[in-house]
């Protein structure tokens, strides 16, 4: 609560400053009109004192009124331009304030979630190793514990890889080394190994068209598959189906990750690839994650001269579709 109050103070000061400027401008405009009216009245009185003829007084009065009208038009025009510029500046600065506050909130949430994400596999792996150290276990139980420990270290490794990749992207220090690869075999081998290694609660289907080759960066490309797949697992209910499809269509290669979880709201679709952004409310969210996965996917996909889109799965769920121009 204290942190949010501190973050909102600059915006409050800005609002007060804008209100002050508007009040000052209103007072300045009123004073200018009053001053012009006073000058016009004094000039008219002066002409009467001089004893000029009625025709001259009328002529002088018309001239004074015309000048007064021009001044009013000038003041009104300048005022309208000033107000317009002030309003544009106000909305732009307000938009910037909100973006900065959103980013600050996301960074805070990221630090909290990444701390938890780092601690959990470390604590779990340590517990598995302590169990092996302190107890005499049969071979089958040992293999199970070792598999769990490896799973925890893989999870930790993926998290560290994501953080390092995000840092490289932010520093523009991210370069690809493309190699022509049989993408069909590459995805099938990696996903088959991953499915065997982890005990997923969902049914995973590989719908891979054979013989599709593309130049890819073998170091970074797995991040596309892993992050999209883990995102699907994270938001899919148990016993649902996750489909990973690779197809060639209309001269393009399409990699799709399809889940049957809850559909993503339209407002979230616009932000889902932003850094640190996570779907849902931070206070009620129960899914794990750091908000880096889809941000990394988007940038790696773009580096491969490809595009990624998010579509609704019918009747429920989401489809992340990566489209490569076939070379």
Q: Is residue 172 part of a domain?
A: no
Domain end marker among 45, 79, 106: 106
* Residue 32, burial from CB neighbour count under 10 angstroms (0-12, 13-18, 19+): middle
Q: Radius of gyration (Cα) for the chain, nearest Å?
A: 33
**Are residue 58 and residue 183 in the same domain, yes or no?**
no
Question: Could you tell me which residue, 276 or 262, shows the higher pLDDT?
Answer: 262
Whether 93 and 207 share a structural domain: no
Domain boundary among 106, 139, 160: 106
pLDDT tens digits, one per residue of 118-149: 777 788 888 888 888 887 888 888 888 887 88
Q: Are residues 182 and 302 in the same domain?
A: yes
Domain harbouring 205, CATH code: 3.30.565.10
Same domain, residue pair 225 and 98: no
- Asked whether residue 311 is domain-assigned, the answer is yes
E strand segments, the chain: 178-182, 203-208, 213-217, 241-249, 252-258, 306-312, 318-325
| Pair (86, 211) in one structural domain | no
**Containing structural domain, residue 267:** 178-325
Same domain, 220 and 321: yes
Number of domain units in the chain:
2
Task: Indicate the residue among 106, 125, 159 that finishes a domain.
Answer: 106
pLDDT in tens, 201-227: 889 999 999 999 999 988 889 889 988
- 72 φ, ψ to 5°? -60, -45
How far is it, in rounded angstroms, from Cα 322 to Cα 308? 4
Question: What region, left, alpha or beta, does residue 74 occupy, with left being phi > 0 and alpha being psi -120 to 50 degrees?
Answer: alpha
pLDDT for 327 beyond 60 = no
Evaluate whether residue 199 is within a structural domain: yes
113 band by pLDDT with thresholds 50, 70 and 90: low
The three-class DSSP label of residue 317 is: coil
């Amino acid at each position: 609560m204290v942190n949010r109050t501190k973050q909102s103070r600059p915006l409050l000061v800005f609002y007060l400053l804008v209100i002050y400027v508007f009040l000052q401008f209103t007072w300045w405009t009123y004073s200018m009109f009053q001053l012009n009216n006073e000058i016009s009245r004094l000039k008219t009185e002066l002409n009467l004192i001089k004893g000029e003829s009625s025709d001259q007084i009328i002529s002088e009065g018309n001239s004074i009124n015309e000048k007064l009208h021009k001044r009013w038009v000038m003041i009104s025009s300048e005022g309208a331009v000033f107000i317009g510029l002030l309003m544009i500046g106000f909305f732009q600065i307000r938009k910037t304030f909100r973006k900065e506050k959103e980013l600050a909130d996301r960074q805070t949430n990221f630090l909290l979630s990444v701390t938890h994400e780092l601690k959990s596999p470390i604590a779990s792996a340590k517990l598995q190793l302590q169990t092996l150290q302190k107890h005499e276990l049969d071979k089958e139980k040992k293999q199970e514990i070792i598999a769990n420990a490896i799973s925890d270290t893989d999870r930790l490794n993926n998290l560290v890889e994501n953080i390092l990749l995000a840092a490289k992207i932010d520093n523009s220090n991210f370069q690809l080394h493309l190699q022509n690869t049989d993408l069909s075999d590459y995805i099938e081998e990696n996903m088959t190994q991953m499915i065997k290694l982890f005990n997923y609660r969902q049914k995973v289907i590989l719908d891979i068209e054979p013989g599709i080759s593309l130049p890819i960066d073998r170091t970074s490309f797995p991040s596309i598959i892993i992050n999209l797949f883990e995102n699907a697992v994270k938001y899919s209910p148990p016993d649902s189906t996750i489909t990973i499809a690779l197809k060639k269509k209309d001269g393009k290669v399409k990699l799709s990750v399809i889940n049957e979880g809850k559909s993503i709201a339209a407002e979230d679709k616009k932000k889902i690839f932003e850094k640190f952004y996570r779907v849902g409310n931070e206070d009620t969210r129960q899914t794990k994650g750091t908000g880096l996965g889809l941000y990394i996917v988007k940038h790696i996909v773009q580096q491969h001269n490809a595009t990624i889109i998010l579509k609704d799965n019918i009747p429920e769920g989401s489809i992340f579709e990566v489209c490569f121009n076939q070379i």
